[in-house]
Amino acid sequence: MIMKNTSYSVKVVNIADKLSLFSEYWNPKIVGELNNHKVQVVKLKGEFVWHHHDNEDELFLVIKGQLTIHFRDKDVQVNEGEFVIIPHPIEHKPEAKEEVHIVLIEPKGTLNTGNVKDSKLASHNQESI
Ligand code: NI
């Protein structure tokens, strides 16, 4: 059935514009939500912490730079225009040797440091921009 005359909004989101609104690293900002997932933009530089997620898969889409994802048995390089999906039980550690900008998609409530308590843990009250 085609719905007519219903009220809805369709918002075009410019990723570069959103990334220009902040400068801090490892602090994901929510730029959209769908199907109980959050779409975030994040700037990365340096090494994150080893962690895993008990239940949540994560999608990392690289907008700028080259992201390395370390796994215990291998490293994966993700270049601009590429994405990778991290299966939820697998331990991983992102590293950005130079500044990297990404879009990160994961279920709402996902903690960026997964099972690990660390100073890089982002707030539960994430900012939407
Ligand atoms: Ni993770």
Task: Calculate the CA 4 to chain-centre distance.
Answer: 35
Mean pLDDT value across residues 41-70 = 97
The verdict on residue 84 lying in a domain is yes
Domain count, the chain: 1
pLDDT for 93: 97
The verdict on residue 68 lying in a domain is yes
The verdict on residue 96 lying in a domain is yes
**All residues at 6 or more sequence positions from 47 whose CB lies less than 8 Å from its CB, including other chains:** 93, 94, 95
Q: Euclidean distance between the first and final Cα of the chain, in Å?
A: 34
The verdict on residue 2 lying in a domain is no
Closest CA to 49 of 121, 126, 129, 125: 121
Distance in Å, CA 15 to ligand 1 centroid = 21
Distance in Å, CA 11 to ligand 1 centroid = 28
The verdict on residue 73 lying in a domain is yes
The pLDDT of residue 8 is above 90: no
pLDDT for 2: 67
Mean pLDDT value across residues 57-85 = 98
Least confident of 39-53, 79-93, 109-123: 109-123
Distance in Å, CA 9 to ligand 1 centroid = 31
CATH number at residue 89: 2.60.120.10
pLDDT for 112: 85
Distance in Å, CA 53 to ligand 1 centroid = 6
The verdict on residue 55 lying in a domain is yes
Domain that holds residue 45: 14-107
